[in-house]
Structure 1
Amino acid sequence: MSITEKIASYIDQKSELYKNLSDRIWDYAETRFDEVRSADLLCKTLENEGFQVERGVANLETGFIATFGSGNPVIAILGEYDALAGLSQQAGSANYAPIIQNGNGHGCGHNLLGVGALAGAIATKQYLEEHNLAGTVKYFGCPAEESGYGKSFLARDGYFNDVDVAFSWHPGTVNAIMHARANAVINATFKFKGRSSHAAASPHLGRSALDAVELMNVGVNYLREHIVDEARIHYAVTNTGGLAPNVVQAEAEVTYLIRAPKPNQVKDLYQRVLNCAKGAALMTETTVEEQIVGSCHNLIPNKTLEKVMHQHMQELGSAKITEDDIHFAKEIYHTLSDEEKNVAALQVGKEAAQILIDKPIVDFLAPLPEEPFFMGGSTDVADVSWNVPTAQCTTATWAFGTPFHTWQAVAQGKSAYALEATLLAGKAIACTAISAMENPTLIEDAKAELVKRLDGETYEALIPKDLVPPKAMEATAVIMA
């Protein structure tokens, strides 16, 4: 029996366990650093499967590392389980139907991601036991990927220093290897302090912090014309200073995500955004305090590992799809705008897109691209990829064209085809992990590629050395502010 057949058998035998775990984490829908029940569920499952679990690593209350085996090589498998605010949605519904208005939802499929990675880790452990192989498999429970960058804290504090190679995956609309680049990002808050006063009787005595926020945003919007093409800047006003228009707002706050292709570029761009904040404070005679609350590097692909993962995915084939799956996927597809459909069509080509209109679940594996494609967003997997060769895949857990971070993605989080695609990802991860453990030359070649791609650069975390991740309830307060 081949590696792919054995791994597939291991994972399929436990499919009901993985479905139950994924569905429960979907129900919990816990956001950044508040994934208390989700993390605990995964920890207990791994303990039951024979892993030694260390909780609270890197001062992450909902972070953990589960370890099985001993000696080299050391394989890391990365799991996530955080949801998104404001995306509550009923499972299995092709109509927008929040369970809780403004509640949380798994709009990026991390309920699937964490469980698929867990399936890969458990299957790797089973293979090691059955074949009496030396080596260590570590499942990294990584909280707050969406806006807290849990892996960046883990990388900063050296938790990947003894790892040889790392693997992960992500839910999506295609089956493919993620041979990709992504932006580095700095997440920062800017808190303005002014002086309150009666806005009509004595406006001259007030100093408006809200005016400062607005002026900063205007300044940054002008800045956009003068940054590198791939850079991105986004903001959200998280404190407007109150609800009374006849009171000059004495405090206000804005949060920024600042992205650029390289760490040095994002640091320079952050300084330029900070100058906009200082200028706004000067104009309004307010003060400003800034704080970097999270960050991650740009993603470094590793084609050496990706080729092996791609080969295993070819051998595994596509996930099982039923007529009921196709029917629901078509309902979801018809909720998308023409623009969303057209963008999706560009990813697969006109011919494939035409076929997918009637059967909008991708059941083929995309070719491995020669050159990395660029993702405008960011991922804290990047900090791992700077420290250790890292490979990722994506599988078709959602109907063709489904945008990330939408209610449509949440609605498909418990679908049968989402689970099948999740198991496929776990199989691909485990097969590639075993291939690396049985072939030291593969690991050596992957490490050599990483050195070449870094081209003399070394990892230095973008988050401050003294920054401590927020505790669970503190993080919830930030989200709800």
Structure 2
Amino acid sequence: MDIIKEVEKLIEKKRNELTQISDQIWEYAETRFEEYKSAQLICDMLEKEEFTLRTHIANLETGFIGSYGHGYPIIAILGEYDALTGLSQRDKCAVADPVKKNGNGHGCGHNLLGVGSLAAALAVKEYLKEKNVPGTVRYYGCPAEESGYGKTYMVREGFFQDVDVAFSWHPATVNGVMHTSSNAVMQATFKFKGRSSHAAASPHLGRSALDAVELMNIGVNYMREHMIDEARVHYAITNSGGISPNVVQAEAEVMYLIRAPKPSQVKELYERVVKIAKGAALMTETQMEQQIQGACANLIPNQTMEQLMHKQMMQINLAEVKQEEIAFAKAIYESTSAEDKEAAKKQVGSLLDRALADHPVFNQIAPMSKNVSFMTGSTDVADVSWNVPTAQCVTATWAYATPFHTWQAVAQGKTEYAHDAMLLAGKAIAATAIEMIENQELISQAKQELEDRLEGESYECLVPSHIQPPNYSESEEEDYSVV
């Protein structure tokens, strides 16, 4: 069996249906834990394709598993479909032009990600069906990757315990295989409660929750000098206590993301941030409540699987990009800042930079690095990778130099080259999965590599067991820890 040709045929047969689903999810642009219509659309396709569905897994309203086949090996393919707030943008438009002011948009391309993974799952299913061989393919519908980390809950609740290998991918500006680690992260909300009063007539009677938030932020800023270089701490004031300066703010809230290369380092930093919050509450005579909103570990690479995926990717026919698509990609490239262009140039080098500036749709497969790179961002794919050998690729859904989480990324979400790249990812994942089903010694090698890389460490979920994902269809009070 020529795996590549077979996979290409299987996926191309469903191209129109898959691109329509991706475009519809782009239109829905639903954010963390609220991806109701997007999840249902993928579930409908899986059900149509004879997959057995389990919904609302791990207490996730928009989390699900579609399963086909029987027995081992069990192949997990991870799909995401959440959008970002504030990134509404018209498609195929090379200037910032929101469809809806402050609306949502797929600035990380998860409309493509979820459907590229779906394409892979469908192709593996067809292989299992036609060959009538033992094996199970599962599509994991994973909500809230951007903020909330749905996969972490799935791992914590045991939904990957029997999986042999897992695959994912991500939209990008190049085609290649990820050989990288990442920062672990904890996300937490800090609420301060004080006492309102007239800011001029009786300021001495008020206790400002906003002052507490500001003092906390100052304290964390001073902490930055005394933490490891790779760590990152970000915050956003999510409730400033109102818009009346003549009223002492009785309530205020700030959300923090705390990142570091190892989960133990993240936990240590989080505990320091909590102490700072307590100090801010003491200084302002306010009450502080904190809650972990989500977390994920650091990514564990698997070279056994990644080298195999790279080999498969090199054999896949890359689609030719039409001239009008290249023209649009060039317009997007020109819309990016000089700083974005310079950052992209540092990644690819001067020679390739000049070629991509003229033809900004990457049309080759990048060589695979022998050394593990480090990603300062975070992904909940990491929690899967601690428990199951995991491989990921990236494909060029966006023009060269397109920054993640921008209107430019949203604008390209329905282009033909984005669709081609989405299906390229699906083909790479499917071909690699089928190769591992046919040669199960590769699965054993991947498992051994994971064990070696962990060096005796075991997985510990950073989200405490009493914390559950939010259910937005229900009106429940969130579980906060009062300090």
Give 1:318 deviation, angstroms: 2.6
How far apart are the structure 1 equivalents of 2:27 and 2:143?
17
Is 1:265 the counterpart of 2:265? The answer is yes
Q: Secondary structure at the match of 2:289?
A: strand
Equivalent residue, structure 1, for 2:332? 332
Write the letter of the residue equivalent to 2:410.
V
Cα pair 1:304 1:442 within 8 Å, conserved: yes
How far apart are the structure 1 equivalents of 2:189 and 2:9?
48
State the Cα deviation string for residues 355-414 of structure 1 (Å, max 9, x = none): 111100111111111111111100000000000000000000000000000000000000
Instruction: Give the number of aligned pairs.
Output: 478
Write the letter of the residue equivalent to 2:425.
A
* 1:123-134 alignment, distance < 5 Å: 123-134=123-134
Equivalent residue, structure 1, for 2:115? 115
How far apart are the structure 1 equivalents of 2:100 and 2:109?
18
Give 1:476 deviation, angstroms: 13
How far apart are the structure 2 equivalents of 1:282 and 1:378?
33
Give 1:292 deviation, angstroms: 0.5
Q: Secondary structure at the match of 1:122?
A: helix
Cα pair 1:31 1:476 within 8 Å, conserved: no
Equivalent residue, structure 1, for 2:392? 392
Give 1:475 deviation, angstroms: 10
Unaligned runs of 5+ in 1: none
How far apart are the structure 2 equivalents of 1:181 and 1:124?
27
Q: Secondary structure at the match of 1:472?
A: coil
How far apart are the structure 1 equivalents of 2:277 and 2:175?
43
Equivalent residue, structure 2, for 1:241? 241
How far apart are the structure 1 equivalents of 2:349 and 2:393?
20
Equivalent residue, structure 2, for 1:451? 451
How far apart are the structure 2 equivalents of 1:167 and 1:398?
21
Cα pair 1:186 1:294 within 8 Å, conserved: yes
Write the letter of the residue equivalent to 1:238.
T
Give 1:321 deviation, angstroms: 1.2
How far apart are the structure 1 equivalents of 2:100 and 2:439?
50
Equivalent residue, structure 1, for 2:481? none
Equivalent residue, structure 2, for 1:214? 214
Equivalent residue, structure 2, for 1:98? 98
Cα pair 1:62 1:472 within 8 Å, conserved: no
* 1:322-401 alignment, distance < 5 Å: 322-401=322-401
How far apart are the structure 2 equivalents of 1:188 and 1:268?
14
Equivalent residue, structure 1, for 2:316? 316
Is 1:232 the counterpart of 2:254? The answer is no
CA separation of 1:250/1:215 partners in 2, compared to 1, >3 Å: closer, same or farther? same
How far apart are the structure 1 equivalents of 2:274 and 2:87?
31
Cα pair 1:340 1:403 within 8 Å, conserved: yes
Give 1:287 deviation, angstroms: 1.2
Is 1:430 the counterpart of 2:430? The answer is yes
Equivalent residue, structure 2, for 1:181? 181
Give 1:148 deviation, angstroms: 0.9
State the Cα deviation string for residues 273-309 of structure 1 (Å, max 9, x = none): 1111011111111111111010000000000000000
Write the letter of the residue equivalent to 1:105.
G
CA separation of 1:225/1:273 partners in 2, compared to 1, >3 Å: closer, same or farther? same
State the Cα deviation string for residues 289-336 of structure 1 (Å, max 9, x = none): 111010000000000000000000000043331111111100000001
Give 1:474 deviation, angstroms: 6.6
Equivalent residue, structure 2, for 1:298? 298
Give 1:440 deviation, angstroms: 1.3
Give 1:432 deviation, angstroms: 0.6
Give 1:472 deviation, angstroms: 3.1
Write the letter of the residue equivalent to 1:239.
N
Cα pair 1:78 1:140 within 8 Å, conserved: yes
Q: Secondary structure at the match of 2:335?
A: coil
How far apart are the structure 1 equivalents of 2:286 and 2:237?
17
Q: Secondary structure at the match of 1:334?
A: helix
Equivalent residue, structure 2, for 1:85? 85
Cα pair 1:34 1:475 within 8 Å, conserved: no
How far apart are the structure 1 equivalents of 2:305 and 2:366?
16
Equivalent residue, structure 2, for 1:164? 164
Write the letter of the residue equivalent to 1:404.
F
How far apart are the structure 2 equivalents of 1:68 and 1:61?
22
Relative to the length of structure 2, the TM-score reads: 0.98
How far apart are the structure 2 equivalents of 1:155 and 1:410?
30
Write the letter of the residue equivalent to 1:420.
D
State the Cα deviation string for residues 399-430 of structure 1 (Å, max 9, x = none): 00000000000000000000000000000000
Equivalent residue, structure 2, for 1:40? 40
CA RMSD of aligned residues (A): 1.3
Is 1:402 the counterpart of 2:402? The answer is yes
Write the letter of the residue equivalent to 1:200.
A
Equivalent residue, structure 2, for 1:66? 66
Write the letter of the residue equivalent to 1:193.
K
Cα pair 1:75 1:165 within 8 Å, conserved: yes
How far apart are the structure 2 equivalents of 1:276 and 1:371?
38
How far apart are the structure 2 equivalents of 1:472 and 1:117?
26
Q: Secondary structure at the match of 1:457?
A: coil
Q: Secondary structure at the match of 1:66?
A: strand
Equivalent residue, structure 2, for 1:196? 196
Write the letter of the residue equivalent to 1:293.
Q
Equivalent residue, structure 2, for 1:420? 420
Give 1:129 deviation, angstroms: 1.1
How far apart are the structure 2 equivalents of 1:346 and 1:68?
44
How far apart are the structure 2 equivalents of 1:467 and 1:216?
24
CA separation of 1:303/1:185 partners in 2, compared to 1, >3 Å: closer, same or farther? same
How far apart are the structure 2 equivalents of 1:477 and 1:125?
41
How far apart are the structure 2 equivalents of 1:317 and 1:377?
31
How far apart are the structure 1 equivalents of 2:348 and 2:468?
42
Give 1:473 deviation, angstroms: 4.3
Structure 1 stretches of 4+ moved >6 Å: 474-478
How far apart are the structure 2 equivalents of 1:14 and 1:246?
61
How far apart are the structure 1 equivalents of 2:159 and 2:222?
40
Equivalent residue, structure 2, for 1:154? 154
Instruction: Tell me which moved more, 315-324 or 66-75.
Output: 315-324
Q: Secondary structure at the match of 2:143?
A: coil
Q: Secondary structure at the match of 1:53?
A: strand
Relative to the length of structure 1, the TM-score reads: 0.98
Q: Secondary structure at the match of 1:354?
A: helix
Equivalent residue, structure 2, for 1:142? 142
How far apart are the structure 1 equivalents of 2:7 and 2:19?
17
Write the letter of the residue equivalent to 1:269.
L
How far apart are the structure 2 equivalents of 1:471 and 1:372?
38
Instruction: Tell me which moved more, 28-37 or 279-288.
Output: 279-288
How far apart are the structure 1 equivalents of 2:475 and 2:30?
11
